[in-house]
Copies of this chain bind each other. A is one copy, B any other.
Amino acid sequence: MFSDLFEKGTKASSDFFTGTVWVKMLVTDEDGIFDTQVYNVVFEPSSRTHWHSHPGGQILIVTRGKGFYQEKGKPARPLKPGDVVEIPPNVVHWHGAAPDEEFAHIGMSTRVHLGPTKWFGPVTDEEYKSAVEEK
């Protein structure tokens, strides 16, 4: 399994994630050489990010399982291994696992010099159920 390429990492904060999510940093870019941070994220079933946006944008590469990506006010997009998601700067969105399946992606935060992620609170159970039903 691809996700076995990386250690599971550390449990993500419940301040920004719902359910159990694991993050393994791959490139911290602390000195800003690449202006890009890279990480592997594993979502247990039904877990997900809070609503958030990135001033410099984000790219996801799905490596395992079934998940979803949703921009605020739009239908959710189902995700499968090999899918690539381009998230433009300042677009409020969430990503996470399907209700009954684990989900993993590599994430890249691009143009990080433009500032840190902005957070807008949990994706409620109602929002989540509505987004993933019949997908």
Give the A interface residue count (CB, 8 A). 25
**Assembled-state Cα–Cα distance A63/B57 (Å):** 24
Contacts of A89 in B (CB 8 A): 33
**Assembled-state Cα–Cα distance A82/B5 (Å):** 4
Given A27-B59, A106-B61, A108-B108, are A82 and B6 also a contact pair (CB < 8 Å)?
A: yes
A131 an interface residue at 8 Å Cβ cutoff? no
Asked if B82 contacts A57 (CB within 8 A), the reply is no
Given A2-B2, A5-B2, A108-B108, are A57 and B34 also a contact pair (CB < 8 Å)?
A: yes
Give A107 Cβ to nearest chain B Cβ, in Å: 12
Copies in the complex: 2
Choose from B27, B34, B84, B111 the contact partner of A26 (Cβ within 8 Å). B84
Contact with B along A14-38 (1 / 0, CB 8 A): 0000000000001100000111101
**Assembled-state Cα–Cα distance A82/B63 (Å):** 13
Contacts of A122 in B (CB 8 A): none
Q: Which B residue's beta carbon lies closest to that of A114?
A: B35
A49 an interface residue at 8 Å Cβ cutoff? no
Give A86 Cβ to nearest chain B Cβ, in Å: 6
Give A13 Cβ to nearest chain B Cβ, in Å: 23
